[in-house]
Amino acid sequence: MKDLTILKPDDWHLHLREGIVLKNIIKFSSEFFGRAIVMPNTKNPITSINKCISYKKSISEGLPENSKFEPLMTIYLTDETIKDELIEGFKNDVFFAAKLYPANATTNSSQGVKKIENLYEIFEVMEELGMPLLIHGEVTDPKVDIFDREVVFIDKELLPLIQRFPKLKIVLEHITTSYAVSFVQENNLGATITPHHLHINRNAMFFGGLNSDFYCLPVAKRENNRIALRKAATSGKKCFFLGTDSAPHLRQWKAFCGCAGIFNSPVAIESYIQVFDEEDSLDQFEKFASLNGPNFYNLPVNKEKIRLVSKSNEIPKFIEVIDNNKVVGQIKPFHAGEILNWQVEGIVN
C-alpha cells in the first residue's frame, strides 16, 4: 500500500452555491481543504460589499462545528462595478480577489462584463492594490466554435490586457488547452486546473448518448490538450495550482436542461492524486495541491497535514441533498460509481 502525507491543500476555485445546497455540500470542501476561493456567480451575483458579507455569513453558518475552513470571497465584476466599492472591499478584507466573467460565458454570468475595455479603470486600481484578477477565459461570440473559445480569448482579450497592465496579478481559471498551458508559463500568470479536465476529453460528453454529466464550461477539449494539462499539473511548476471548479447542479436540473458544471468536491483530492500517481509524479502533488497556490497569492501554507493512502475507493452514485430530514434532491458527483485508487485517511497534526 502506498501512502502520502502532504500539507493540507486549498481549493483556489470553488462554487459553494446557496441555501440548502450550500448546507449539504460545504462539508465536502471544509473537511480536507484549508481555504477556498469562493466564486461569486450566485443566482443574484456578489457585486457589492454588502452582498459579499451576507454570503460569507451564510457560508460560515453552513460549516460544521469547529471547522477551521476559510472562505476567500470574490467580487463579480460588471460593466457597472464601482471603483470605490472595490477598493474599500479589498482594503477591508471583504474581497480577496475580483472575478471576470465575460457576459454569458458560463452559469449565472449574464450580468458579467460586456466589454473588457469598460473595466480598464478598475484594472488600473487593482494593479496598484495588488488585487488578483481571476478570469473565465472564453469569448462568447457565437460565431466562434465552442472548442476554440479559450484560445480566441487568449489572443483577442488576454494578450492586450496583460500588455496594458503588465503588473496585474492574473489567474486564468480552469485552463483546458495546451495553448493556455504555454501562455500562462510564458507570461507569468497563474492558472487553476480542474480534476475533470485531467481525466476526461471531449469524447466523454458523447459516450453512450449525449451525456450532460461531463458537460462543463469551458468544455473538455481534444486528448492532446488533456495530456498537456496533466503534464502541466504534475510538473510542479509554480504557476499551476489546484482549483476544483466543483459546480453542483441538482440532478433534476441537470437532466432537464443539461446545465454546465461538474460536482467534484466529494472526490477532488482522490481524483487529483490518482492523476499524479498515473503520471508517476506523486512527489509533485504537494506543490500543486498545497504550495503553489499560497505562493502565488502570498499567503502562508496551511499548518495541518493530510494523509492519503492507496486503497480501493468506491464513489457513490449520488449525493443526497437533505432538508429537514427529508431527501429533497440528488447530485451526481464526478467519478460516480467508479472505483478510485486513493482515499484521504484524515488530518495529521
Catalytic machinery residues: 245
C-alpha to C-alpha distance for 232 and 226, rounded to whole angstroms: 10
C-alpha to C-alpha distance for 13 and 106, rounded to whole angstroms: 14
C-alpha to C-alpha distance for 38 and 59, rounded to whole angstroms: 10
Query: Is the Cβ–Cβ distance between 2 and 276 less than 8 Å?
Result: no
Query: Three cell numbers at 227?
Result: 495530456
Q: Which of 261, 266, 329, 333 binds ligand OTD (CB under 6 A)?
A: 261
Binding partner of 331, given Zn ion, ligand OTD, none, CB within 5-8 angstroms per partner class: none
**3-7 sheet: strands from edge to edge:** 3-7, 305-314, 339-348
- Tell the smallest beta-carbon distance from residue 225 to ligand OTD (Å): 17
- Tell the smallest beta-carbon distance from residue 171 to ligand OTD (Å): 12
Binding mask 124-153 for Zn ion (x = CB under 5 A): ------------x-----------------
Query: Is the Cβ–Cβ distance between 9 and 242 less than 8 Å?
Result: yes
Binding mask 107-126 for ligand OTD (x = CB under 6 A): x-------------------
- Tell the smallest beta-carbon distance from residue 73 to ligand OTD (Å): 16
Binding mask 153-182 for ligand OTD (x = CB under 6 A): ---------------------x--------
Tell which phi-psi region holds residue 208, choosing left (phi > 0), alpha (psi between -120 and 50) or beta: left
Q: Which is nearer to ligand OTD, 174 or 237 (CB)?
A: 174
Q: Which of 8, 23, 35, 136 binds ligand OTD (CB under 6 A)?
A: 136
Binding partner of 277, given Zn ion, ligand OTD, none, CB within 5-8 angstroms per partner class: none
Closest CA to 242 of 310, 306, 192, 183: 192
Query: Is the Cβ–Cβ distance between 230 and 212 less than 8 Å?
Result: no
Question: Residues in the site for ligand OTD, rule: CB under 6 A?
Answer: 15, 41, 106-107, 136, 174, 216-217, 245, 247, 260-261
